[in-house]
Structures are given as structure tokens and as C-alpha cells.
Structure 1
Amino acid sequence: MGKLPGATIADLQNARLFDMAVPRMYGGQQSSLRTLMDAVVEIGQGDGSVAWTLAILHGGTWMAAACYPKHVTDEIFAPGENTRVATVFMPRRAKTKRINGGVMIEEGIWNFNSGVYHAQWDILGIPIIDEASQIIDRASALIPISQVSLLNDWDTIGLRGSGSTSVAVKNVFVPNERLAFHSKTQQENFAADHLRNEPLYQLPILPFLAAKLVFPALGMAKGALELFIDKASQRSISFTFYEKQDEAAVTHLQVAEASAKIDAAELMLRRCLDDLEASTASGTSMPMEQRARIWRDAGFASRLIWEVVDMLAGASGGGFAQSANPMNQYWRDVRVAGLHGGICPNTTLEVFGRILCGKTPNAPLLQPHGND
């Protein structure tokens, strides 16, 4: 099944790109959100699967640093470990049982575990069940990869190299120290007390991780536009007198609209990052409406990016149909990236619209804070 080659992972590691979310106290880069975005967007222009894998592993590594106590993070980020952490929030199905000292995952399957082939740890979302078999909370369970079964079922039209296979867990005990309960993490009540004064590790989880999902596609859209403009000077428009596509007014309109939508998506995402960093720097909790707005912006930026790449693909001529055509790869990768449930525009727009209408957000990962 598709995954990145070892040489690519080595290149990313040697460039210390996997260290961007690792705290400085463990020898990491502890990079700003802007640095993360710039790196992922740049890589996305060349290869969507590499950018997607890097972005997802960054999120898992960030969660591992922020959401668990120091004696756990000491183990995760031990010297020389080159730590990479994959993550999936929602299981396809999971059966758990509370027992002394933690939770037993009796069985569970999680889809789309991007980057897991290259990770040492996996963070899997699980339900927390009471004695009446009712879900009373959810938690992010930190599990060594040795206890996770990779199902090798990633066979898709796009992002084929991301290795986003399904995984399964059976009869795995997760101690309380490796459980990050969502009722706490949604309030930024993170267990990493030793990082309490580091704003990077106080980010509100949902809007941060959602915005980050769009970075790879933004890079792909930029790459697609550059490719289109380059090829437009080398091909004609069939059944017209245009010997070069870039001489036609319709082409000028298309590239101008594409560049405007790319700029709009990028400006929205950068505003999201500015708001996230401003909130954590001030030490105040971000209001739910602002969280929802960032989530909405991530979904809407994803839609703008898809519109760009789909338009450019449609204007690329019959050669686009060839699977080896680079524009074809951008198109497939952006389409698959936009299918992620965390940035589905219908979901993000509905959630924000509900809040504007004075209703609850109807989203388990977006709950009121004390200041809402």
C-alpha cells in the first residue's frame, strides 16, 4: 500500500522538519505556526502526500507534547528517539471498558491514520463509557505503535503516498497517564504542566488542528497554478485560432481568478494563525464563536482551493486525463485532502451558522468554555 519511501522520511528528518512541534526542552525546534505553515505549503507545491504526512505527524507530535504529563513526555521524547506521532480522533468503532488505573480497549478500528507507517506512537480517540454503557466523555489514548495493527488498506485516487491506512487495536490497556480526556483538553486544561508557560502548547485543539489540515492543499494549489501558467505558453486551444493558450482572454480571467482565490484562502489561514497565537500569548481562553470562526475559515479555504484546482484542471486540455499528467496529480490530491471530515465546508459552515443563530454548535469537539 502507498506510503512515503524511507529516503523521503530521512530527508525530512535530516532537515529537522519532524522536530517543529517537539519542545525545545527535548531538543526540538518548537517552531511558530507561521513557520509550520510556510514549510508545509512549500512542500505541498512539490508533493501533496509528503506535505500531508508532515502536517498530520506534526499535529500528533504537538498533542503528545501538550496533552500528557512530564513523565510520559520524557519517555516519548527521549534523546535520540526522532519521535513521530500519528493521530486519529474518531474511531469507526471502538469498545472500551474502564478498569483500575486506566481503560481497556477491547477492540477498535480507526480509518485514515495518516503517517502511521512512520510513527513510533499513535494517538487514537476512544469513548469513555460509564456502568450503564453510556458515553460520558472521550479521550485521546497514546499507544505505542507495537500495540497497533496496520490494516494496509490505503488504496485511493489521491494522497496515495500518505499511508493513511486503517488501524486496529485489540485488548490493549491504556493507563490513565496516557489518556487525554476531551472534557479537559477542550478547555486547554492540558496535563503538560511543565509547558504551561509555553504559548505554543496552549493552543485550542480543534481550530488549530483543523486549520493545519488545509496547509498541504494550499501548497498544491500554488503548484497547480504555476504549472498551468507554464504550460499555457506551450499549448494551443483546440478548435480556435489561439496557438498559445496564454494569449486568450479566457485564460487571463482564469489565472486571475485562481490567484485571487489562492490569496483569499491564504489570508484566511494566516488570520487564523494570528488569532490563535494572539490568544495563547495573552493567556486568555478563546471564545467559542472565535473557535468556530477559525474552523469555518479552514473549511471555506479548503473549498476555495478545490475550486481553483478543479478550474485549472478543466482548462488543461485533454492531456489532463492522463494519469501521469502533473495537473492530474494535483487535482486528485486536493480532492482527497478536502474530503477530511475535519474541514468539510458543510459541517464547518453549519456549526458557525448555528452559533450565529444563538444555538449550540452540535459538535462534540467544540464545547462552551467558562467565558462563553
Structure 2
Amino acid sequence: MLTTDVQTREQLVRRAADLVPLLRKNAAWAEENRRIHEESIEAMADAGVFKMRVPTRYGGYEADARTLVEVGAALGRGDGSTAWIASVYWIPTWMVGLFPDAVQDEVFATADVRVCGTLSPTGTATPADGGVVLNGKWGFQSGALHSHWQEIVAIQMGPGEPMPIVALVPISDMTIIDDWHTSGLKGTGSVSTVADGVFVPSERVLPLPAILQGQGASAANANSPIYRAPLLPVASASSVGTVLGMAKAAREVFFERLPDRKITYTGYAHQNEAALTHLQVADATNKIDEAEFHATRLATLLDDKCASGAPWTLEERVRARGDLGAVCGLARQAVDILATASGGSSIYLDVPTQRIARDVQAATMHALMHPNTNAELYGRVLCGLEPDTLYI
């Protein structure tokens, strides 16, 4: 099994857990200002969060999936938006490791480099002498306001058949559109970015199908275990910890408030005496435990496959997305139960429950994290049909 050194994992998880009070303190500010507080960004950098998927030769950790899940869950206990940003950075940072070594030298020359991006091909790439020219608009760019680079997916037009490509672009080459006005994950600042005739040299362009298969152009990373995986299982394992952490945060907040609560208009002077409360907290806790099972199973699958280098079966690939969807569905159900049990006073903005509920809803509506979408794909393949998407 692929493992991060136990001492290193424990250190990274402990550092992330130590950030919980700070992230909770800054969560309301982040939501109001629609971006992560710089204090939180600096604290995560100091804790090594942004180096977790950076190759060791650049001072990174090349952390395994189990470490990503545990650190993501710790950050999620502090603030969903902040944890979301960290998990988003881990995915494009891993993708950078598939590019030629000279490109990695350029990107990782920046200390605590942060790379944002999505997989939606909402722009075009026109061949030009020595590279391509990008035009288009990319939405949901979580972390763009704090990024140094953006990973862009575009459709390369002619000659020949159109082909999806992945390009690495300095964020300074992009125009940021402040359009992030949402009901949940407000603090992520997931704005849109626009490319207007941006030139990208050919060494910073790779075919998307190769990236999806985890087939890179890096000689230095060719034997690194973390690069022996398709992109979607990597992205899935990078994301689940954040959602799990939000569910744990909802439970923590509930029990912090419980001793001082009654159930209004009932005979219960203390909520903790009500049988209904007992059923609610047991149900929510079981769902959180089930979500943690799926998150751990996903991380174990990814780490084991990376360590062995064995080919991925189709069922394993869609099960990774199935586990991702299961974590999201169970976490959302748990938060909903706890929010319902928290009563009318929990709708005040100084009570984190309402923000956690909105954040977990927003996270689970993401196209690659939606419980229904992932369950349908998993069931489709279990029924003997071919997947109806390239994103497996």
C-alpha cells in the first residue's frame, strides 16, 4: 500500500486541526467578502497544505490519498469554503506533475504555488506558431483570487478533428470576472476567468484524454506512485475529506449548543432529554460514520493501486466516483438532520449551522460530486453497460 510516512501524516493532520479555531474565526468574514481571508491562506501555507501534492524534489510531500482525506476533513471542520479551496488546489497541482519537467520547474519555482482550474471545456484553443491561442470564459474557478496559475480545458480547433486539451496559464494572463454571488460556499470566491487571445507555448499544453488516463510527459515523475492513476479517482479522493469535515463540524456545533437548549412549546426543558434528539443524533452520527467508510475505502483503493501500479478496472474507476457520491449524499443527509434538530435559533448568522448547511448543499451540487450522478454511473457499469462519460 502507498503510504505517506506516518510521522509526516500525523504532523500534517495535526497542523490542519490546529487551524480549526482560526478558520472558524474567519469563516463569516470569508462568506461576507466572498473570498478566503489572507490570514487563512497564509496559515495554510505555513501548515504545508499547499505542498501536499507537490513533488518531493521541489520540497513537497507527494502525499497519499489517505493524508488528503484526513487533512481535508480537519480543514472542513474549520470552514467548508477554506477546505474546498485547499482540495481544489490539490487536483490541478497533481496535474502539473504530468507536464514536462521544464514546465514543472517553472510552476513550482513559486513557493507554496497555488493552481486553480476546472475540467469544463468552455473555450477554444487555436493552433499558432509554437503553441495555441486561448479564447473563452471559465466559470467556477475556485481559488482563482489566490492562485498563481490556472489549469484550463479548451477545445483545440483544426487542423483535423477538434480535440480537448489542457493548458497551464499564469493567472496574470487571465481577466477575472467578479460574478460569484451564491447561496453556499460563498467564501471560495469561485469567480469566472476570461482569456482573450492568450498565447500558451506548446510545452504547456497536453491532450485532455492523456490527463484523464494519468499519462504524463514527465520523466522525473515517471516512477512516482502518486502518478499511477487516472485523474478522476485522484480528484475524487482529493475532494471527499472536505465534505466529510463539514458534516463533522455540524455535529460538533450541535453538541456545543445542546446543553443550553430546550425544545420550545414542548415539555422538554433540556433538548438532550428528548427521545427525538436521541434518534436524530444517532442517525446523523451513523451517516457520518458511513461517509467516513466510503472516504476511507476510496483513499485505500487509490493508494493501493498507485503502490502496485496494477491497471485500473472499469469497475474500480466508477466505484471511485460512487464512493465520492456516497460521501456527499450521506454528509448532506447528516447535516440536514442536525440542522433540523438545531431549531429556529440556528438560522442566525452567528450560528455556524446555517452556513454549514448551505455550504454542504453547494458542494454536493457540483457536477462531479452530485450523489445521483455518481450513483447512476456506478450502477450503470454494475449492470454491464459502458459508461456514458469520459470522466471516469
Q: TM class, shorter-chain normalised?
A: over 0.9
Using the TM superposition, give the Cα deviation of residue 87 of structure 1 relative to its aligned residue in structure 2, in angstroms: 1.2
The answer to whether the aligner puts 1:267 opposite 2:267 as a matched pair is no
Taking the TM superposition and a 5 Å limit, the aligned residue runs for 1:217-232 are: 217-232=243-258
The TM-score, its normalising length taken from structure 1, stands at 0.93
Whole-angstrom CA distance in 1 between matches of 2:150 and 2:338? 37
Contact kept? 2:243, 2:327, Cα under 8 Å? no
Which residue, out of 323, 333, 349, partners 2:349? Answer: 323
Aligned AA for 2:285?
S
Find the counterpart in structure 1 of residue 99 from structure 2. Answer: 68
Using the TM superposition, give the Cα deviation of residue 323 of structure 1 relative to its aligned residue in structure 2, in angstroms: 2.6
Contact kept? 1:229, 1:246, Cα under 8 Å? no
Whole-angstrom CA distance in 2 between matches of 1:275 and 1:164? 30
Whole-angstrom CA distance in 2 between matches of 1:198 and 1:173? 31
The answer to whether the aligner puts 1:88 opposite 2:118 as a matched pair is yes
Contact kept? 1:69, 1:193, Cα under 8 Å? yes
Number of corresponding residues: 360
Using the TM superposition, give the Cα deviation of residue 239 of structure 1 relative to its aligned residue in structure 2, in angstroms: 1.9
Contact kept? 2:72, 2:240, Cα under 8 Å? no
Cα offsets for 1:18-46 (capped at 9, x unmatched): 11111110111222222222111111111
Whole-angstrom CA distance in 1 between matches of 2:372 and 2:127? 35
Aligned AA for 1:7?
E
Using the TM superposition, give the Cα deviation of residue 222 of structure 1 relative to its aligned residue in structure 2, in angstroms: 0.3
Which residue, out of 100, 109, 130, partners 2:137? Answer: 109
Find the counterpart in structure 1 of residue 11 from structure 2. Answer: none
Q: CA RMSD in A?
A: 1.5
> Which SS does the other structure have where 1:86 is aligned?
strand
Contact kept? 1:211, 1:295, Cα under 8 Å? no
Cα offsets for 1:270-296 (capped at 9, x unmatched): 111111111111112211211101101
> Which SS does the other structure have where 1:112 is aligned?
strand
Aligned AA for 2:348?
Q
Using the TM superposition, give the Cα deviation of residue 216 of structure 1 relative to its aligned residue in structure 2, in angstroms: 1.1
Whole-angstrom CA distance in 1 between matches of 2:51 and 2:157? 35
Contact kept? 1:229, 1:255, Cα under 8 Å? no
Cα offsets for 1:92-117 (capped at 9, x unmatched): x3133223433221x21111100111
Taking the TM superposition and a 5 Å limit, the aligned residue runs for 1:289-308 are: 289-308=315-334
Using the TM superposition, give the Cα deviation of residue 188 of structure 1 relative to its aligned residue in structure 2, in angstroms: 2.4
> Which SS does the other structure have where 2:142 is aligned?
coil
Find the counterpart in structure 2 of residue 355 from structure 1. Answer: 381
Which residue, out of 97, 107, 127, partners 1:98? Answer: 127
Bigger mean CA deviation after superposition, 143-152 or 209-218 = 209-218
Find the counterpart in structure 1 of residue 154 from structure 2. Answer: 126
Gaps of 5+ in 2: 1-32
Using the TM superposition, give the Cα deviation of residue 229 of structure 1 relative to its aligned residue in structure 2, in angstroms: 2.0
Using the TM superposition, give the Cα deviation of residue 320 of structure 1 relative to its aligned residue in structure 2, in angstroms: 2.0
Aligned AA for 1:69?
P
> Which SS does the other structure have where 1:313 is aligned?
helix
Contact kept? 1:227, 1:327, Cα under 8 Å? yes
Cα offsets for 1:245-291 (capped at 9, x unmatched): 11111111111111111111111111111111111111122112111
> Which SS does the other structure have where 1:240 is aligned?
coil
Using the TM superposition, give the Cα deviation of residue 201 of structure 1 relative to its aligned residue in structure 2, in angstroms: 2.3
Find the counterpart in structure 2 of residue 26 from structure 1. Answer: 58
Cα offsets for 1:133-161 (capped at 9, x unmatched): x53x3122110111111101112222111
Aligned AA for 1:97?
T
Contact kept? 2:214, 2:227, Cα under 8 Å? no
Contact kept? 2:140, 2:191, Cα under 8 Å? yes
Using the TM superposition, give the Cα deviation of residue 210 of structure 1 relative to its aligned residue in structure 2, in angstroms: 2.2
The answer to whether the aligner puts 1:168 opposite 2:194 as a matched pair is yes
Aligned AA for 1:236?
K
Gaps of 5+ in 1: 367-372
Cα offsets for 1:222-251 (capped at 9, x unmatched): 011111122222111122111111111111
Identity in percent: 37
Using the TM superposition, give the Cα deviation of residue 365 of structure 1 relative to its aligned residue in structure 2, in angstroms: 2.1
> Which SS does the other structure have where 1:195 is aligned?
coil
Whole-angstrom CA distance in 2 between matches of 1:116 and 1:225? 30
Whole-angstrom CA distance in 1 between matches of 2:88 and 2:169? 16
Aligned AA for 1:245?
Q
